[in-house]
Each structure stands twice: as C-alpha cells, then as structure tokens.
C-alpha cells in the first residue's frame, strides 16, 4: 500500500484534470453489486493523461486494470490491488460518418444503438440490451440476440503497455467467442461500428422485439449477465444448469436465477464469496455429467482476508 500511496500523490500532482481516488468502493460500479475496493481509481481526462497513468504504473511496477461499466465482471471481496482505470465521459463521444459510427471506449452500448437508430442506421440493435461500454464490449467480444461486437466493428484504437496509441483494422485483432485476448494487455480507446441504412420504424421494431425477448427470459435482479460460456453450439449453459436442477439454489444473498439458470443474481445482501460458491457448485455438478463449464464472467481481485481472533 505504501507504493500506492506514493503513486496517488504523484497522480494527483501530475493529473489535475483527472479523477484520482484512494480506496474506491467498486461494488456500486458493477451490475452485480458485489466486490471490494480498488487501491487507486483513476478516470483520465484525456489520452495524454491515460498514457501518463500507464507509464507511472509501469515505473512503479504497479498493476493496472481497465474497468468499464462493471457488467460481466465479478470482483472478489478483497478488492483490487493496484490501479483501476475507467474511461468515463471524456471517452464517450459518438460520431457518425456515412454508415459508420466512431465511438469512444467509454460510450454506453445503449447510447450507440440509440444514435444509430436516430440516424436511420440499422444492424446495431443487439447492442441496446448489453449493459456495458464500448471498451468492455471489445474486451469481451460481447454479444446478444445473435450478434457479436467484432462482427460489427471495422477499426479499433487502443493504447499499449508503454502508453502509445495505435489504430488498426478490426480484422487484425483476433477475437474469440466472448473474449478478445488483445485487450487483456492493451487498453481499448475507441471503435468504428459498421451499420446499414434502414427505416427508423424497422430499427425500432427490432429493438423492441429484442427487449421483449430479453425481459421474458432474463432476471431483473442485479447480475453480471451470463455466468458461463455455452459448452457447445448445441448445448446452452442455462439449459444444462436447469437440467441439473440447480435453478433457485442459494448461497447467502446470491441465487441461481429461477428465470434463467445461467444468471446468478444478488438479492441485495450477496457477497462475491457467495457468488463464487455457486459458480464452483455449478462447475462441479456439470463435471459429474462430463461437461466442463468455463466462466464467461471475468473474475478479478483478491480474496478478503479473514479477521484474526
């Protein structure tokens, strides 16, 4: 913590226009509403400030973690050591040029879909129900309703571990099902989405149909979205968990949703440990069936230390 305290003083002095905080609670910044604090939390005011944060972390040998809108994320109760970097309002611009939308990493996916609809551009309606940001969608190759982020992205801009910004064609970045390894070590800055001209009425209709389908099949309580990747193209994780008879199972304030088996929800009193216990239970029961489940939700942070007697 001494290193982080020193780094805090340096960041505050070097970045007067950026938000820099110590011991920032992160649970309220996630859709699951669990998790501990970040040693340091930074919202850079510009790419230049972001580069400074990354370089100072490198000099101090302090790890940093990119943080979006906290969906698809489970933070352990002990919090995150090092620096959490969140690209907020200063990285949220959405610009339209022809059939393309250039969007900052901090832009909400819902806002991207709304802007496309406003400009009579279709094909991005699947983004509307994903409760995340463009940066998080790139990191996870987020998808819904049959669409995936990298199927709609043509260019990406990012910053490497040396604080240098780059831009390239999306095809040059290897993306997988619900993952993009490139953004584990590089910070997403922006993306260009490809859309297609369509009537606002048709776009609104598809968006409405997607939303109706989503709210009929997904729980309304706080969650991190789908917990596991589908184990195969013919077997969904939710269906498997239902077959295992685990829907409704509780641990503390966490519960496997009775609505959709692949969602673990928070009744308002859950801890990350409760959620992790359910994750391990599901994986163990699936393994008994000969199925290996892999988390879609990203798990980060430290286990909370037990109090000494």
Nearest to 45 by CA among 84, 18, 20: 18
Note whether residue 107 is domain-resident. Answer: yes
Note whether residue 307 is domain-resident. Answer: no
Whether the Cβ atoms of residue 51 and residue 159 lie closer than 8 Å to each other: yes
CA 49 to chain centre: 22
Q: Which one of 70, 86, 102 terminates a domain?
A: 86
Note whether residue 274 is domain-resident. Answer: yes
Give the domain CATH number at 24: 3.30.43.10
The answer to whether residues 225 and 183 belong to one domain is no
* Tens-binned pLDDT, residue by residue, of the chain (309 aa): 566 889 999 999 999 999 999 999 999 999 999 999 999 999 999 999 999 999 999 999 999 999 999 999 999 999 999 999 999 999 999 999 999 999 999 999 999 999 999 999 999 999 988 889 999 999 999 988 888 999 999 999 999 999 999 999 999 999 988 889 999 899 999 999 999 999 999 999 999 998 888 878 889 999 999 999 999 989 999 999 999 999 999 999 999 999 999 999 999 999 999 999 999 999 999 999 999 999 999 999 999 876 554
Whether the Cβ atoms of residue 83 and residue 62 lie closer than 8 Å to each other: yes
The answer to whether residues 247 and 282 belong to one domain is yes
Whether the Cβ atoms of residue 74 and residue 34 lie closer than 8 Å to each other: yes
Whether the Cβ atoms of residue 71 and residue 161 lie closer than 8 Å to each other: no
Whether the Cβ atoms of residue 292 and residue 231 lie closer than 8 Å to each other: yes
Note whether residue 308 is domain-resident. Answer: no
**What was the pLDDT predicted at 130?**
87
Strands (E), 49-109: 64-67, 73-75, 80-86, 94-97, 100-104
The answer to whether residues 59 and 34 belong to one domain is yes
Domains contained in the chain, number: 3
Q: Which residues pair with 19 in a beta bridge?
A: 43
**What was the pLDDT predicted at 73?**
96
Task: State the CB neighbour count (10 A cutoff) for residue 258.
Answer: 13
Q: Which helix (H) or strand (E) holds 127?
A: none
DSSP state of 295: B
Half-sphere exposure of 37 (CA within 13 A, CB side): 8
Whether the Cβ atoms of residue 283 and residue 275 lie closer than 8 Å to each other: no
Nearest to 86 by CA among 43, 128, 139, 145: 43
Give the domain CATH number at 105: 3.30.465.10
The answer to whether residues 246 and 179 belong to one domain is no
Dihedral sign computed on CA atoms, order 168, 174, 177, 182: negative
The answer to whether residues 240 and 197 belong to one domain is no
Note whether residue 289 is domain-resident. Answer: yes
Note whether residue 211 is domain-resident. Answer: no
The answer to whether residues 38 and 126 belong to one domain is no
The answer to whether residues 278 and 243 belong to one domain is yes
Task: State the CB neighbour count (10 A cutoff) for residue 166.
Answer: 11
The boundaries of the domain holding residue 6 are 2-86
The answer to whether residues 126 and 71 belong to one domain is no
Dihedral sign computed on CA atoms, order 204, 141, 36, 286: positive
**What was the pLDDT predicted at 214?**
81
- CA separation for the pair 186, 298 (Å, rounded): 16
Q: Which one of 86, 102, 134 terminates a domain?
A: 86
Nearest to 220 by CA among 129, 296, 110: 129
- CA separation for the pair 254, 268 (Å, rounded): 8
Q: How far is CA 227 from CA 115, 280, 282, in A?
A: 29, 11, 10
Q: Which one of 38, 64, 86 terminates a domain?
A: 86
The answer to whether residues 55 and 74 belong to one domain is yes
Note whether residue 306 is domain-resident. Answer: no
**What was the pLDDT predicted at 298?**
94
- CA separation for the pair 88, 67 (Å, rounded): 10
**What was the pLDDT predicted at 3?**
66
């Amino acid at each position: 913590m001494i290193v982080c305290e020193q780094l805090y003083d340096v960041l505050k002095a070097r970045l007067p226009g950026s938000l820099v905080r110590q011991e920032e609670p992160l649970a309220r910044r996630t859709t699951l509403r669990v998790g501990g604090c970040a040693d340091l939390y930074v919202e850079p005011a510009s790419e230049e400030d972001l580069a400074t944060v990354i370089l100072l972390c490198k000099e101090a040998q302090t790890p940093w973690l990119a943080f979006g809108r906290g969906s698809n994320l489970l933070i352990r109760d002990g919090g995150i050591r090092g620096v959490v970097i969140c690209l907020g309002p200063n990285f949220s611009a959405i610009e339209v040029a022809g059939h393309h939308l250039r969007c900052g990493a901090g832009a909400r996916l819902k806002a991207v879909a709304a802007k496309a609809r406003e400009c009579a551009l279709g094909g991005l309606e699947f983004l509307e129900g994903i409760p995340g940001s463009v940066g998080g969608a790139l990191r996870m190759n987020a998808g819904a309703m049959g669409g995936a982020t990298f199927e709609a992205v043509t260019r990406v801009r990012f910053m490497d571990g040396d604080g240098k910004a780059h831009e390239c064609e999306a095809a040059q970045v290897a993306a997988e099902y619900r993952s993009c390894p490139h953004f584990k070590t590089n910070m997403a800055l922006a993306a260009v989405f490809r859309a297609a001209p369509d009537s606002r009425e048709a776009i609104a209709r598809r968006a409405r149909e997607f939303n109706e389908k989503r709210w009929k099949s997904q729980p309304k309580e706080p969650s991190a979205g789908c917990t596991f990747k589908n184990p195969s193209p013919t077997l969904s994780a939710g269906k498997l968990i239902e077959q295992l008879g685990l829907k409704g199972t509780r641990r503390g304030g966490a519960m496997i949703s009775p609505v959709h088996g692949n969602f673990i929800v928070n009744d308002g009193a859950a801890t990350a440990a409760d959620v992790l216990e359910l994750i391990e239970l599901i994986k163990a029961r699936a393994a008994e069936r000969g199925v290996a489940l892999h988390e879609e939700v990203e798990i980060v942070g430290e286990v909370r230390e037990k109090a000494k007697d």
